[in-house]
Chains A and B, each alone.
Chain A
Amino acid sequence: MARLKKTIRNLLLIAVLLFLFMKLNGLYFSPVEALHTSERDLHYGPSEIIHSFDHGKSRYFLTRYQDMISCSPIDRFLGVFWRYGAGHGIENKKERPLFTSYRSKEEEWLIYGIRNDPSIVRVEIEVKNAEGETEIYSSDTFYEDMFYIMWEGENDSDVLFSEIFVGLKAYDDKGTVVYDSDFPI
């Protein structure tokens, strides 16, 4: 009986300490909760999640809020937690047929955006790799007009995006270039 009482006491103590540990480290059991709490603390959102995908230890959320878009990674921590810490948007410049932004984390590079011209069916980005050769990555998958392209490249601590970026093109279904940009922002 004494052991049962001690166990109950320990479990209650663990619940309180776990709550404090999660608060101290910005951890949540749900990645969506982590995203929306992060957004709220930046006085933004809650955004509408258009699509989410896992890459590495992170879950990326393609989201929209008012005229802004974002693609925020929420990192997994210790297997069961999701770490708070991303979630601001960038305003969609609707006068552009395609509006994009980018983010990077170590070797992982990501370009994401939204098509304002519905005739766009494919987006293509040209970037330089570590050897200086041009590589082309493309996507023809859109989620409510939003898209992303991810690739592995040089570590972002060694290069700037402007140094690896070559060009961005968007095509319609006939293969005609609808948008051609020298810089994706």
Chain B
Amino acid sequence: MPSPETREFSVEARQVPSPAVKEFIHKVVNRVHFFPDRHDIELELAAHIEDSMLFLQEEGGLSQEEAEKAALERMGDAVEIGIALNRQHNPVLGYIWYFSRIIAVLLCIIVIFQSVPMLLVSGWTILFDHPIRDIPKESIVRHVKPNELIKLDSRRIRITDVIQTEDGDLHVLYSSYNLSFSGLHGWSSSGLGIFKDEDGETYFNGGGRSSAGIYSRARRSLDNFPFEKEKLIIEWDYAGRYYKVEIPLGEVVNNG
């Protein structure tokens, strides 16, 4: 097959095929069942016939009509050529190749459009969006780094920091991702469980925030956690799942 560049050049330079040549080519390509290849075959046959005609005119001294007739005779039976070309341009393989190319390109576009925003959000979270920046350093009175990994179904949660500020708020900072990639389409549980102290007192009031994406970082803040408490206990006990994490909070230091 000629390359697209040479084909374009040769088509412009060549003459328009005569009705007899057109009919011959038509008979040949009618036997080729893989339609997308028909145009290339038409161009190739036309070029071949024209080359043959030119040769016969120049070397054999034939007129154009005689050269055309002789060139077509040399080509052989159009139907047989068509059958042979159909075998060569296998329509089953041809159509699988043709549609697989279209499907692959479409899927590629869809996946890129869908995944790029998610990857950008996750990249932003990993590089720049750490909730520890929400907490003014000068207000910290207790700071521990438990680095505790919790496995809850396919979700992985790492408690990175527990920080108490001078106003009594206790901030639990954690990162999480899901091995089932549910974060990709926004379907996942983001809770951490029930917060207690060593005496069993539970803490619900507070706020927090969480980033979106495959990998998220979150802050859960508990209002008025007593300074005298030594432990934070995070417990999950629901629907057959259980975990309990005990985090020693250390000494309260007035860094002011």
Chain A residue numbers with a CB within 8 Å of B164 are none
Interface: B184 (CB within 8 A): yes
Interface residues as binary, B103-122 with A (CB distance below 8 Å gives 1, 0 otherwise)? 11001101100110010000
B97–A43 contact, CB under 8 A? no
Chain A residue numbers with a CB within 8 Å of B240 are 65-66
Q: State how many angstroms separate the Cβ of A169 from the closest Cβ of chain B.
A: 31
Chain A residue numbers with a CB within 8 Å of B188 are 41-42
A41–B239 contact, CB under 8 A? no
A85–B187 contact, CB under 8 A? yes
Interface: B128 (CB within 8 A): no
Considering the chains assembled together, what is the distance between the CA atoms of A10 and B103 in angstroms?
9
Q: State how many angstroms separate the Cβ of B157 from the closest Cβ of chain A.
A: 11
Interface size class of B (residues with CB under 8 A): 20 to 34
Considering the chains assembled together, what is the distance between the CA atoms of A68 and B118 in angstroms?
34
Chain B residue numbers with a CB within 8 Å of A43 are 152-153, 155, 189, 236, 238-239, 241
Interface residues as binary, A54-84 with B (CB distance below 8 Å gives 1, 0 otherwise)? 0000000000011010000000000000001
A65–B110 contact, CB under 8 A? no
User: Looking at the complex, which one of B97, B103, B114 makes contact with A25 (CB distance below 8 Å)?
Assistant: B114
Considering the chains assembled together, what is the distance between the CA atoms of A34 and B115 in angstroms?
21
B185–A26 contact, CB under 8 A? yes
Q: State how many angstroms separate the Cβ of B92 from the closest Cβ of chain A.
A: 10
User: Looking at the complex, which one of A13, A14, A21, A40 makes contact with B153 (CB distance below 8 Å)?
Assistant: A40
Q: State how many angstroms separate the Cβ of A162 from the closest Cβ of chain B.
A: 26
Chain A residue numbers with a CB within 8 Å of B236 are 43
A3–B153 contact, CB under 8 A? no
Stretch at the interface among B43-51, B58-66, B175-183, B203-211: B175-183
Interface: A92 (CB within 8 A): no
Interface: B253 (CB within 8 A): no
Q: State how many angstroms separate the Cβ of B236 from the closest Cβ of chain A.
A: 8
Residue ranges of A at the interface with B (Cβ–Cβ < 8 Å):
3-4, 6-7, 10-11, 13-14, 17-18, 20-21, 23-26, 37-38, 40-45, 65-66, 68, 84-85, 89
Residue ranges of B at the interface with A (Cβ–Cβ < 8 Å):
90, 93-94, 96-97, 100-101, 103-104, 107-108, 110-111, 114-115, 118, 152-155, 178, 180-182, 184-185, 187-189, 236, 238-241
Given contacts A6-B97, A11-B96, A65-B239, 13 further A-B pairs with CB under 8 A are A3-B90, A3-B97, A7-B96, A13-B104, A14-B103, A17-B104, A17-B107, A17-B108, A23-B181, A24-B184, A41-B153, A43-B153, A84-B187
A-B pairs, 3 with minimum CB distance:
A10-B100, A17-B107, A7-B97
